[in-house]
Protein backbone atom coordinates (compact mmCIF):
# COMPACT_ATOMS: atom_id res chain seq x y z
CA UNK A 1 0.00 0.00 0.00
CA UNK A 2 2.82 2.38 0.89
CA UNK A 3 4.59 1.70 -2.42
CA UNK A 4 1.36 2.34 -4.31
CA UNK A 5 0.79 5.66 -2.49
CA UNK A 6 4.39 6.71 -3.12
CA UNK A 7 4.18 5.86 -6.85
CA UNK A 8 0.84 7.70 -7.15
CA UNK A 9 2.26 10.74 -5.34
CA UNK A 10 5.29 10.88 -7.66
CA UNK A 11 3.09 10.61 -10.75
CA UNK A 12 0.73 13.32 -9.55
CA UNK A 13 3.63 15.58 -8.58
CA UNK A 14 5.15 15.34 -12.06
CA UNK A 15 1.76 15.83 -13.71
CA UNK A 16 0.14 18.56 -11.61
CA UNK A 17 -2.53 19.66 -14.09
CA UNK A 18 -5.12 22.38 -13.77
CA UNK A 19 -7.28 22.82 -16.82
CA UNK A 20 -8.64 26.18 -17.78
CA UNK A 21 -9.47 28.08 -20.91
CA UNK A 22 -9.23 31.77 -21.58
CA UNK A 23 -11.99 33.03 -23.80
CA UNK A 24 -10.87 35.31 -26.64
CA UNK A 25 -11.83 38.99 -26.62
CA UNK A 26 -14.61 39.40 -29.18
CA UNK A 27 -15.32 43.07 -28.50
CA UNK A 28 -12.68 44.53 -30.84
CA UNK A 29 -12.98 44.35 -34.59
CA UNK A 30 -10.53 44.88 -37.43
CA UNK A 31 -13.04 44.23 -40.22
CA UNK A 32 -13.79 46.91 -42.84
CA UNK A 33 -16.65 49.36 -41.94
CA UNK A 34 -19.13 47.62 -44.24
CA UNK A 35 -18.62 44.32 -42.44
CA UNK A 36 -18.58 45.91 -38.97
CA UNK A 37 -22.32 46.63 -39.20
CA UNK A 38 -23.00 42.91 -39.56
CA UNK A 39 -20.77 42.13 -36.60
CA UNK A 40 -22.47 44.66 -34.33
CA UNK A 41 -25.80 42.82 -34.49
CA UNK A 42 -26.21 40.69 -31.39
CA UNK A 43 -26.14 37.01 -32.13
CA UNK A 44 -27.19 34.23 -29.84
CA UNK A 45 -24.32 31.86 -29.23
CA UNK A 46 -24.42 28.48 -27.59
CA UNK A 47 -22.35 28.43 -24.42
CA UNK A 48 -19.95 25.54 -24.40
CA UNK A 49 -19.98 24.26 -20.83
CA UNK A 50 -16.70 22.46 -21.49
CA UNK A 51 -14.99 25.88 -21.64
CA UNK A 52 -16.12 26.63 -18.09
CA UNK A 53 -15.12 23.40 -16.35
CA UNK A 54 -11.58 22.92 -15.10
CA UNK A 55 -9.85 20.37 -12.94
CA UNK A 56 -6.47 19.59 -11.53
CA UNK A 57 -5.04 19.61 -8.05
CA UNK A 58 -1.85 19.37 -6.10
CA UNK A 59 0.33 16.88 -4.31
CA UNK A 60 2.81 17.25 -1.50
CA UNK A 61 5.19 15.00 0.30
CA UNK A 62 7.81 14.97 3.02
CA UNK A 63 10.05 12.04 3.95
CA UNK A 64 12.13 11.22 7.01
CA UNK A 65 11.25 10.53 10.62
CA UNK A 66 7.99 12.35 9.79
CA UNK A 67 6.53 11.21 6.45
CA UNK A 68 3.55 12.93 4.87
CA UNK A 69 1.98 12.32 1.44
CA UNK A 70 -0.88 14.64 0.43
CA UNK A 71 -3.24 14.46 -2.56
CA UNK A 72 -5.72 17.28 -3.28
CA UNK A 73 -7.66 16.92 -6.57
CA UNK A 74 -10.10 19.72 -7.52
CA UNK A 75 -13.01 20.18 -9.93
CA UNK A 76 -14.05 23.75 -10.68
CA UNK A 77 -16.54 25.76 -12.73
CA UNK A 78 -16.20 29.32 -14.10
CA UNK A 79 -19.38 31.21 -13.24
CA UNK A 80 -18.02 34.40 -14.85
CA UNK A 81 -14.61 35.21 -16.36
CA UNK A 82 -13.47 36.40 -12.90
CA UNK A 83 -15.45 34.19 -10.48
CA UNK A 84 -15.08 30.43 -10.19
CA UNK A 85 -15.80 27.79 -7.61
CA UNK A 86 -15.76 24.07 -7.10
CA UNK A 87 -15.03 21.07 -4.93
CA UNK A 88 -11.79 19.74 -3.50
CA UNK A 89 -11.01 16.30 -2.09
CA UNK A 90 -8.35 15.83 0.60
CA UNK A 91 -6.27 12.77 1.35
CA UNK A 92 -3.15 12.59 3.54
CA UNK A 93 -1.04 9.70 4.70
CA UNK A 94 1.17 10.31 7.76
CA UNK A 95 3.84 8.13 9.38
CA UNK A 96 5.57 9.60 12.44
CA UNK A 97 8.60 7.77 13.86
CA UNK A 98 9.46 10.44 16.45
CA UNK A 99 7.60 8.60 19.24
CA UNK A 100 8.46 5.30 21.00
CA UNK A 101 5.74 3.60 18.90
CA UNK A 102 5.49 4.58 15.24
CA UNK A 103 2.26 6.46 14.51
CA UNK A 104 0.63 5.80 11.13
CA UNK A 105 -2.67 7.21 9.89
CA UNK A 106 -4.68 8.57 6.98
CA UNK A 107 -6.83 11.70 6.88
CA UNK A 108 -9.56 12.42 4.36
CA UNK A 109 -12.25 14.96 3.63
CA UNK A 110 -13.81 17.37 1.16
CA UNK A 111 -14.41 21.07 0.73
CA UNK A 112 -15.90 23.83 -1.38
CA UNK A 113 -13.87 26.76 -2.72
CA UNK A 114 -14.40 30.06 -4.54
CA UNK A 115 -11.87 32.23 -6.38
CA UNK A 116 -12.20 35.77 -7.63
CA UNK A 117 -9.60 37.06 -10.09
CA UNK A 118 -8.66 40.67 -9.37
CA UNK A 119 -6.42 40.64 -12.45
CA UNK A 120 -5.60 37.56 -14.58
CA UNK A 121 -2.52 36.80 -12.47
CA UNK A 122 -3.86 37.61 -8.96
CA UNK A 123 -6.86 36.07 -7.21
CA UNK A 124 -8.44 35.90 -3.76
CA UNK A 125 -9.46 32.50 -2.45
CA UNK A 126 -12.01 31.24 0.12
CA UNK A 127 -12.46 27.59 1.01
CA UNK A 128 -14.52 25.66 3.55
CA UNK A 129 -13.42 22.10 4.34
CA UNK A 130 -14.17 19.27 6.75
CA UNK A 131 -11.32 16.80 7.26
CA UNK A 132 -11.38 13.60 9.32
CA UNK A 133 -8.19 13.19 11.39
CA UNK A 134 -6.96 10.42 13.63
CA UNK A 135 -5.94 12.17 16.86
CA UNK A 136 -2.48 11.10 18.05
CA UNK A 137 -2.78 8.23 20.56
CA UNK A 138 -0.72 10.06 23.21
CA UNK A 139 -3.38 12.77 23.50
CA UNK A 140 -6.17 12.48 26.06
CA UNK A 141 -9.07 12.24 23.59
CA UNK A 142 -7.53 9.81 21.07
CA UNK A 143 -9.71 8.69 18.16
CA UNK A 144 -11.00 10.07 14.87
CA UNK A 145 -12.56 13.52 14.71
CA UNK A 146 -13.96 15.80 11.97
CA UNK A 147 -12.19 19.17 11.93
CA UNK A 148 -13.72 22.20 10.15
CA UNK A 149 -11.53 24.74 8.32
CA UNK A 150 -12.27 28.09 6.71
CA UNK A 151 -9.27 29.07 4.59
CA UNK A 152 -8.93 32.65 3.33
CA UNK A 153 -6.06 33.99 1.28
CA UNK A 154 -4.73 34.87 -2.15
CA UNK A 155 -2.82 33.35 -5.02
CA UNK A 156 -0.68 34.32 -7.96
CA UNK A 157 -0.56 32.69 -11.42
CA UNK A 158 2.20 33.44 -13.92
CA UNK A 159 2.28 32.04 -17.45
CA UNK A 160 5.60 30.29 -18.08
CA UNK A 161 5.01 29.83 -21.81
CA UNK A 162 2.51 27.95 -23.91
CA UNK A 163 -0.13 26.41 -21.67
CA UNK A 164 2.06 26.16 -18.57
CA UNK A 165 1.45 28.29 -15.46
CA UNK A 166 3.34 28.72 -12.21
CA UNK A 167 0.92 28.96 -9.26
CA UNK A 168 1.63 30.15 -5.73
CA UNK A 169 -0.96 30.48 -2.95
CA UNK A 170 -1.04 31.40 0.73
CA UNK A 171 -4.02 30.63 2.98
CA UNK A 172 -4.89 31.07 6.66
CA UNK A 173 -7.40 29.02 8.64
CA UNK A 174 -9.65 31.54 10.38
CA UNK A 175 -11.71 28.99 12.39
CA UNK A 176 -8.74 27.83 14.51
CA UNK A 177 -10.45 24.62 15.69
CA UNK A 178 -8.66 23.14 18.75
CA UNK A 179 -8.24 19.79 16.90
CA UNK A 180 -6.55 21.42 13.90
CA UNK A 181 -3.08 20.03 13.14
CA UNK A 182 -1.88 23.55 12.26
CA UNK A 183 -0.38 26.00 14.70
CA UNK A 184 -2.20 29.21 15.61
CA UNK A 185 -2.57 31.33 12.45
CA UNK A 186 0.11 29.26 10.72
CA UNK A 187 0.17 30.15 6.98
CA UNK A 188 -0.44 27.33 4.52
CA UNK A 189 1.67 27.67 1.37
CA UNK A 190 1.28 25.85 -1.92
CA UNK A 191 3.40 26.23 -5.05
CA UNK A 192 3.01 24.23 -8.25
CA UNK A 193 2.94 24.13 -12.01
CA UNK A 194 -0.32 23.88 -13.95
CA UNK A 195 -0.94 23.06 -17.58
CA UNK A 196 -4.03 24.46 -19.32
CA UNK A 197 -5.77 22.87 -22.28
Given a cut of 60, whether residue 33 has pLDDT beyond it is no
What's the whole-number average pLDDT of the chain? Answer: 75
Which fold, 2-21+49-195? Porin (2.40.160)
Pair 116, 82: CB distance under 8 Å: yes
Hey, CA dihedral for 105, 111, 117, 120, is it positive or negative?
A: positive
Check residue 152 and give its pLDDT: 97
Q: Taking the domains of the chain in order of start, what are their residue ranges? A: 2-21+49-195
Check residue 189 and give its pLDDT: 86
pLDDT-based confidence at residue 19 (cuts at 50, 70, 90): very low
Residue ranges of alpha helices (H) inside 54-151 are none
pLDDT in tens, 145-193: 999 999 999 999 888 877 667 788 999 999 999 888 877 888 988 876 6
Check residue 158 and give its pLDDT: 87
Q: Residue 39: which of 25, 47, 27, 23 has the closest Cα?
A: 27
Given a cut of 60, whether residue 114 has pLDDT beyond it is yes
10 Å Cβ neighbour count for 98?
9
- Average pLDDT (7-36) is 38
- Residues of the chain with pLDDT > 90, as a percent, come to 33
Higher pLDDT among residues 121 and 197, named by residue = 121
Amino acid sequence: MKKLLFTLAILLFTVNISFSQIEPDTTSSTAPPAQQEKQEKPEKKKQNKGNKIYFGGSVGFMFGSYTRISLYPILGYKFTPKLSGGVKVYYEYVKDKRYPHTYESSSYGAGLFARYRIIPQLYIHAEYAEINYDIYPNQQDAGRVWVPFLYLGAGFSQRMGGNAWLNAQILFDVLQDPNSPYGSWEPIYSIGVGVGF
